[in-house]
Amino acid sequence: MRISTLLGKAAAMLSGAGVATPRLDAELIAQQALGISAIAMLVDADMPVEQERADRFFALLDRRLSGEPVSHILGKREFWGMDFAVNSDVLDPRADTESVVSSAIKIYKNQNRNLTIADLGTGTGCILIALLSHYRHATGVAFEKSVKAYRVARQNFVRHSMLARVKLRCASWERCEGKFDLIVSNPPYIRRCKIPGLQREVRQHEPLRALDGGVRGMEAYTQIFKVLKKCLRPSGRAILEIGEDQSTIRDEALRWNIGFCNYEYDLAGRKRCIILKLLPGA
């Protein structure tokens, strides 16, 4: 069987299973199973595939057809131009979350600034690692209370040579101490009643604790406001990812004497981040 035939057959099977990006998924799985690059896959499209490699390809394809995310099959996911190790113990990095990083870069334009950054619920570590890759003199503290997720985060900090600039703590963000210029977080924010309606690959293969924001989708933010009051510098900023269920977050932050700066929007034009600061007297 030729590479082109293999890809066509796989894409048709994935499409029939309701996968949103069948061709792309087929190509990514082929690169992994056949050990070839995206360019080689195009140039050598008519090249026959050895049976052993074809068997490996279809074994991985079966996992995708069962609903397992491509990122888990590959063991990695791209974020901010870098690859991050992922598995079912951590939330997959998503393109929308890059708005947290881009928001920080808009606020702190000096790339050489010695920023101190806290990442609450670091997961894969992707947000903090992306920020540290941009701000070469910055340092950070990452909090992750899940032992399994902590191990994935540590793997990524080592992979990107960031461990020397980070204190990685296997602890709840409520244990945060000290003062920070920037506090970032992508907390769980999906209302509990919406969890059963999530895509199968999200619902079955990503950790519930990283998705479930409680009855109103606001539980994590209330905890974070307490951290901001204690640990955000008077001149600092907090950048928190939000979703459609956080329409009241601006008013709720104000009750904690935490002020609203602005929203940042994702590529689809939806509010994706809220930028906050401490108000005088906080």
Residue 262 pairs with which residues in a beta bridge?
Answer: 275
Q: Which residues are part of a known binding site? A: 121-125, 144, 173, 186-189
For the chain, helix (H) and strand (E) counts, in that order, are 11, 9
DSSP 179: -
Residue type, 145: K
Return the structure tokens found at 114. 């010695």
Which residues are documented as binding site for S-adenosyl-L-methionine? Answer: 121-125, 144, 173, 186
Q: Are the CB atoms for 33 and 57 separated by under 8 Å?
A: yes
The DSSP-derived string for 6-45 is: HHHHHHHHHHHTT-SSHHHHHHHHHHHHHT--HHHHHHTT
Q: In whole angstroms, give the CA distance from residue 130 to residue 100.
A: 10
Measured between alpha carbons, how far is 9 from 151 in angstroms, rounded to an integer?
37
Contact 173, 187 (CB under 8 A): no
Identify the CA nearest to 149 among candidates 174, 120, 171, 124.
Answer: 124
Question: Per the annotation, where are the binding residues for substrate?
Answer: 186-189
The neighbour count for residue 21, using CB atoms within 10 Å, is 13
For 98-146, where are the alpha helices, taking DSSP H only?
Answer: 98-107, 126-134
Strands 76-79 and 166-169: unpaired
CB 273 within 8 A of CB 263: yes
CB atoms within 10 A of CB 257: 14
